[in-house]
Chains A and B, each alone.
Chain A
Amino acid sequence: MNDKIPANFLPYQKKITPYLDGTLSTQDRSEFEAFVSTHPEFEVYIRNKQDEINLVKSLIPSVFIEQDVLDSLDNEIRQSVFNLLKEEPKNAWENFSMKLEDWLTR
């Protein structure tokens, strides 16, 4: 990959990292992109960096989760939510409906 950057592009060099990381402000980003599009050599350098990032993304695993694991995890999540987010019932009707909800989510 071409990692050399022409010396006359140095003022924009500082902005490469925030640009690639998506942390440049909208105005700075537009200014940076305008500069890139008018300087082909610089554009090649940025494109190489972007390719490197895409390569890194492809080397980060996205684990496959089996359906039965997903179902069991989903069940545990439901139990946790319904057990830990219990509100105090304000009246007998709420008490009954919460108990019914608990029973239905078992």
Chain B
Amino acid sequence: MIRKEFYLLVQPLTEKLYRFAHAILPDDLQAEQLVVDSLNAYLIKEKKNILGRQINLQSKKEIQILRRIFFKGILRYMSDIGLRRAQQLGEQFKLDTPTEFKAFYNLEPKARMVLKLRYEAQFSVEEIEEIVQIPRYQVIEKIHNGRFLIVTDLNQGVAL
């Protein structure tokens, strides 16, 4: 594979990557920077694997499979870098929590990432385990706790 082909594969993922980055770091500039840093880390670490892949650009199925592999790869670095950055910037984000979707943003960043992966990108529990690098039971726990906390928060809001 040549770099131009790789670019053609990842270019349509830009918006999705930004949305994930924004779920971890709810700030436009931080999210933009996180997308670029995650991609750079992925390219540096996986350069040989990427360039060593063969691709038939005529095959839609092959394009879809490879795009998903690259998407997961970049998200893995995004999860690693983003969650560390969210920890460092934690206090700032506590002050700047968006007023919309408050229940979601009140969850810890890792839970937000897991919920987003599960319910927006429809990744399986096994795939999330691979991306976020946590054991399966923790993935399931975060999905259930996250769901519970969001619904509880909504019900409390309705009750008030």
Interface size on B, residues (CB 8 A): 48
Closest residue of B by beta carbon distance from A55? B151
Question: In the assembly, what is the distance between CA of A21 and CA of B4, in Å?
Answer: 37
Question: In the assembly, what is the distance between CA of A59 and CA of B146, in Å?
Answer: 11
A92 adjacent to chain B (CB < 8 Å): no
A59 touches B7 (CB 8 A): no
A13 adjacent to chain B (CB < 8 Å): no
A62 touches B147 (CB 8 A): no
* B66 partner residues in chain A, CB cutoff 8 A: none
CB distance from B119 to the nearest CB of A (A): 5
B7 touches A82 (CB 8 A): yes
Known A63-B22, A80-B39, A84-B43: A56·B7 in contact at CB below 8 Å: no
Question: In the assembly, what is the distance between CA of A62 and CA of B28, in Å?
Answer: 13
Known A55-B151, A85-B51: A73·B18 in contact at CB below 8 Å: yes
B11 touches A74 (CB 8 A): yes
B154 touches A21 (CB 8 A): no
Stretch at the interface among A4-12, A30-38, A39-47, A64-72: A64-72
Describe B's contact surface by its main secondary structure: helix
Stretch at the interface among B55-63, B85-93, B99-107: B99-107
Interchain Cβ contacts under 8 Å between A and B, 30 examples = A17-B140, A21-B143, A23-B124, A23-B125, A52-B147, A53-B119, A53-B147, A56-B147, A56-B151, A57-B120, A59-B104, A60-B115, A62-B19, A63-B19, A69-B18, A70-B14, A70-B18, A73-B35, A77-B35, A80-B36, A80-B39, A80-B40, A81-B39, A82-B3, A84-B40, A85-B6, A85-B50, A85-B51, A87-B51, A101-B4
6 new A-B contacts, CB < 8 A, other than A63-B19, A85-B6, are A23-B124, A53-B119, A55-B151, A56-B119, A56-B146, A60-B119
